[in-house]
Chain A
Amino acid sequence: MSETVDLLIIGGGPAGLAAAVEADGLGLSVLLLDEQTEPGGQIYRGIESVHPDTLTVLGDDYAQGASLAEAFRRSGSTYRPGATVWRVDEDGSVAYSQDGKGATATGKRVLVATGALERPVPIPGWTLPGVMSAGGAQVLLKSAGMVPSGRVAVAGCGPLALLVTQQLISAGANVVALLETTRAGDYLCATPHLFGALSAGSYLRKGRRMRRNIKRADVPIHSGVSDLAAIGEGTLSAVAFSRDSARTELAVDTLLLHIGVVPNTQITRQVFCEHEWYAPQRYWRPVRDDWGATSQAQIAVAGDGGGIDGAAAAALHGRLAALDAAGRQGKVELAERNRRADPIRYELAGHQAIRPLLDTLFPPPQDLCAPPDDATLVCRCEEISAGDIREAVALGAMGPNQLKAFTRCGMGPCQGRMCGLTVAELVAQAKGESVEDVGYYRIRPPIKPVTMGELAAMADD
């Protein structure tokens, strides 16, 4: 039942796919466990089966994923779709479920390539039916060729909010407004010529083009909005926002929220990797070297799960991690490994050049990191509010784990994915400490729920 491979990859997005292709090419045995049923992860979700018209709407960046998926399929890597990893051990053994059956596999090296998740956007009413993440709407477009029916507004900040707005408009959705929390977009528009780096310039030109397209479609962009709230009784009916001392309520059927993406650290935390705080974008990421090696001897990380760099960078990180795995296992001489890595690093540097600027211009807004309204739900699973959290801190809960014990915040099925960052910010704010010092939830297995029956089959008694 348990097999051993040279490189066990968790995740079928660009980092995982590129790592698999590279590792296979270097003669390593590769097993890729993918929770999804086809390759692509989220950024290239549905790439193998997307409708040609939808492909046009989604744009060139998305289309890049097709050749990567093809190369992966052609490679000698073993692909196991619908395989949900629920436990990773420090010795490289991995437990996963596929078709309701449990199995284990061991990697001489394990590459965690599980990507990013959207930062939670805790506004009043965000749990109402009708409110969804912008990324979620994009998944529906990619994988199911669907757009919101009725009136839709996009609210938040960051490149994805802009992209999704443009994509939905192209696809024929009735987008009634883009509500931007920052005014940085305006900045970027005005001064792209100031930024010399080729990639930075082209990135900014892309953003400018998207904003132009949105405006040309007569979709208003309201910049500098605050105090977002989703309004409705049992279902969404409007979005409210403040801007320049005026408060507006806009009737909508769908509200798409997005304030950035953050690394998904569930697995890296569960297997005890060290993490560090990245202040410009207010998230934690695993500590890694420039090959993607973590603080755990057999665990590597590549892609957005190690730090948000985007899809193109993710593939390059994947290739570097594969090279490193090959080097460590003697499949390639270290000098040769370094020689092959050089052009990858050069290309990677090009993609990473824009990050410091982007990350500084689009920080997550403070009141969406730590919601000021006590009634705002923070833990969606257990329905714990910001006020409940503040009260528990006043009682003496001095960190997220004690807070969890006192309130059940973070104990639901999502195990902190939707509330962890918000909780850390709220505790930090209440105590006057840095979020970095406050810390994060202890993440334990199972990474995803697993049945007692499946687990029982792993007994050794």
Chain B
Amino acid sequence: MFRRLHDAGGQSVTIDFEGDALQVGAQETVAAALVAAGAGHSRTTPVNGAPRLPFCMMGVCFDCLVEIDGVPNKQACMETVREGMKISRQDGKRRLDP
């Protein structure tokens, strides 16, 4: 959905989204990284299973909920990427921690 204007250059990290390795800018939020990666959707809603992508980018809409390093329902737009970060779609309701 989005593309970068500039190369991240030396300032990049590698993260994992649904098994795919992505090279992203070290300062990017997870939400930015996902829309730049062309993710078709980053979650499905708990009520109707509808596909959603981040909408407001500023922590207001909660449409950007994803699972980050095993923690569900995190706002992707409020998290900065980290080397080795593992991101999965939030499919519907979360599960309880083990």
A residues sitting closer than 8 Å to B (CB atoms) are 35, 37, 42, 45, 49, 51, 53-54, 84, 117-118, 127, 129-133, 135-137, 139-140, 143-150, 171-172, 234-235, 253-254, 264, 380-383, 412-414, 417-418, 448-449
- CB <8 Å contact, A140 and B57: yes
- In whole angstroms, what is the CA distance A136 to B12 when docked? 22
Contacts of A136 in B (CB 8 A): 54-58
Contact B5 A171 (CB under 8 A): yes
Query: Hey, what's the 0/1 contact readout for B43-68 against A, CB within 8 Å counting as 1?
Result: 00101101111111111111101000
Assembled-state Cα–Cα distance A112/B50 (Å): 35
- Secondary structure at the A interface, as helix, strand, loop or mixed, is loop
B87 at interface, CB cutoff 8 A: no
Residue of B nearest to A415 (CB): B62
Q: How far is the CB of B3 from chain A (nearest CB, A)?
A: 4
Residue of B nearest to A253 (CB): B1
The answer to whether A254 and B1 have CB atoms under 8 Å apart is: yes
Asked whether A132 lies within 8 Å of B32 as measured between CB atoms, the reply is: no
Interface size class of B (residues with CB under 8 A): 35 or more
| Residues from chain B with Cβ under 8 Å of A117 in the complex | 56, 58, 60
Contacts of B56 in A (CB 8 A): 117-118, 132-133, 135-136
The answer to whether B2 and A140 have CB atoms under 8 Å apart is yes
Given contacts A37-B80, A143-B32, A417-B60, contact A51 B55 (CB under 8 A): no
Q: Are B50 and A383 in contact (CB under 8 A)?
A: yes
Instruction: Compute how far the CA of A311 lies from the CA of B21 in the bound complex, rounded to whole angstroms.
Output: 39
Assuming the A-B contacts A49-B27, A417-B60, are A127 and B6 also in contact, with contact meaning beta carbons closer than 8 angstroms in the complex? no
Least CB distance from A72 to B in Å reads: 19
When the two chains form their complex, are residues A380 and B36 in contact, meaning their CB atoms are under 8 A apart?
no
Q: When the two chains form their complex, are residues A144 and B62 in contact, meaning their CB atoms are under 8 A apart? A: no
> CB-nearest residue of chain A relative to B74?
A449
**In the complex with contacts A53-B6, A132-B54, A144-B61 CB distance below 8 A:** no
- Given A51-B6, A54-B5, A144-B32, answer yes or no on A129-B62 (Cβ-Cβ < 8 Å): no
How far does the alpha carbon of A54 sit from the alpha carbon of B63 in the complex, in Å?
27
Say whether B40 faces chain A, with CB atoms less than 8 Å apart. yes
Query: Are A172 and B58 in contact, with the CB atoms below 8 A?
Result: no
8 Å CB contacts to A: which residues of B1-44? 1-6, 25, 27-29, 32, 35-36, 38, 40-41
B61 touches A414 (CB 8 A): yes
Query: Shortest distance in angstroms between B83's beta carbon and chain A's nearest beta carbon?
Result: 17
* A133-B35 Cα distance, complex, nearest whole Å: 14
CA of A413 to CA of B54, assembled, Å = 14
Docked CA distance A144–B38 (Å): 15
- A145's closest neighbor in chain B, by CB? B5
Inter-chain contact B5/A147, CB cutoff 8 Å: yes
Cα A172 to Cα B62 in complex, Å, equals 29
Which chain A positions have C-beta within 8 A of B85? Answer: none
- Quick check: B58 and A130 within 8 Å, CB to CB? no
B2-A382 in contact (CB<8A): no
Can you sample 15 A-B contacts with CB below 8 Å? Answer: A51-B6, A117-B56, A129-B40, A132-B53, A143-B28, A144-B2, A144-B29, A146-B32, A147-B3, A148-B1, A148-B2, A149-B38, A254-B2, A413-B73, A449-B73
Residue in B1, B51, B61 whose beta carbon sits within 8 Å of that of A418 in the complex = B61
Task: Give the distance to chain A from B81, nearest Cβ to Cβ, in Å.
Answer: 10
Q: 8 closest A-B pairs (Cβ-Cβ)?
A: A136-B57, A129-B53, A413-B62, A144-B32, A139-B57, A149-B3, A146-B2, A383-B47
Task: Tell me whether B57 and A235 are in contact (CB under 8 A).
Answer: no
**Which one of A129, A172, A449 lies within 8 Å of B1 (CB-CB)?**
A129
- Contacts known (A51-B5, A149-B3, A171-B5); A42 close to B40, Cβ less than 8 A: no
Given contacts A144-B25, A383-B48, are A412 and B62 in contact (CB under 8 A)? yes
Q: Tell me the complex Cα distance, A321–B46, Å.
A: 42
Complex Cα spacing A412 to B73, Å: 12
Shortest Cβ distance from A128 into B: residue: B51
For A172, list chain B residues within 8 Å (CB). Answer: 5
Considering the complex, give the chain A residue whose CB is closest to the CB of B25.
Answer: A144
Residues of A within 8 A of B3 (CB): 146-149
Question: A310–B51 Cα gap in the complex (Å)?
Answer: 34
Contact of A145 among B6, B40, B52, B65 (CB under 8 A): B6
User: Given that A144-B32, A383-B47 are contacting pairs, would A35 and B1 also be in contact in the complex, using a CB cutoff of 8 Å?
Assistant: no
Cα separation A288 to B59 with both chains bound (whole Å):
26
Highest count of chain B CB atoms <10 Å: which of A118, A144, A380, A449 = A144
- Contact between B61 and A380, CB atoms less than 8 A apart: yes
| Nearest Cβ on chain B to A37's Cβ, whole angstroms | 6
Q: How far is the CA of A54 from the CA of B5 in the complex (A)?
A: 8
CB <8 Å contact, A383 and B45: yes
Q: How far is the CB of A153 from chain B (nearest CB, A)?
A: 13
